Amino acid sequence: MKIHTIDTGFFKLDGGAMFGVVPKVMWQKINPADENNLCTWAMRCLLIEIDDRLILIDTGLGDKQSEKFFSYFHPHGEDSLMKSIEAKGVNADDITDVIHTHLHFDHCGGSINRVDDELVPAFKNATYWHNETHWNWAMKPNDREKASFLKENFEPLQIQGKVKFIDPNNSPFKNITFEIVNGHTEAMLLPIINYNGKTFAYMADLIPSVGHIPLPYIMGYDLRALTTLNEKTSFLKKAYDNNYTLIFEHDPKIECCTLKMTEKGIRMDEAFKLNETV
């Protein structure tokens, strides 16, 4: 088994939206904003090799949306999904499985390519795995969230028979289990990976960056802030008690960290790159 981070580039989001009720004077120290109040965020995916399977977790923003769409989010950087995968010696056609933590556009946009006027799976030989409850939520989105659910990012997968649903109580993957959280969006998956006696938790949007470890630091995007608060409290205790390593999808600088207990609660202990520990 091997685990790799897959960097798909950076994008920008409003700092206030990313830190919710926390004042700018505090979050500005963690992730400084530009003149438009926008902060830079990573879109960091995972590639896992298990036996004869190559499993990709999340797929970033993709590149098929309109120029107007991208003008809101300012994608930038030298990395891309395909470039990073190929740097690991892997071809897109080699990917056997894609797991979506959830279907917001910055997590699944790279799963579909636009070829002329046709929308086609970027990984033609892969099965795409989702939580069924979340899939149904995304297919009939509420008014608050519908701008984040772009059906061109996932509906073609169902049309082409590529979709399967994960039973979190019976994982189809060796050494990967799943937790479900409901604060950010309905039924988001958190992959928990057991490797060489260590436990790695891919945090998706429950704790998108190191700056979101303190309990009050909850995104304004979250549907249910108090649910997120309770989920973070419970998860961080479990992670600390069991020596988890957290992998951050959106932190622009820090890939992974361990945890420590402080006077202010659980905080980051050691920060490092994934390849330094696996």
For the chain, domain boundaries: 2-276
Residues making up the chain, counted from first to last: 278
Q: What's the whole-number mean pLDDT along residues 249-267?
A: 98
Q: pLDDT at position 6, please?
A: 98
Q: What letter represents residue 72's amino acid?
A: Y
pLDDT tens sequence across 78-122: 999 999 999 999 999 999 999 999 999 999 999 999 998 899 999
What is the average pLDDT score of the chain? Answer: 97
Tell me how far apart the alpha carbons of residues 117 and 134 are, in angstroms, rounded to a whole number: 28
Q: What's the whole-number mean pLDDT along residues 39-54?
A: 97
pLDDT tens sequence across 197-215: 999 999 999 999 999 999 9
pTM of the model: 0.97
CATH class of 2-276: alpha beta
SS3 for 110? helix
Tell me how far apart the alpha carbons of residues 273 and 278 are, in angstroms, rounded to a whole number: 9
Confidence of residue 43 (pLDDT cuts 50, 70, 90): very high
Q: What letter represents residue 138's amino acid?
A: A
pLDDT > 80? residue 278? no
Q: pLDDT at position 192, please?
A: 98
pLDDT tens sequence across 118-135: 999 999 999 999 999 999
Helical (H) or strand (E) element with 47: strand 38-50
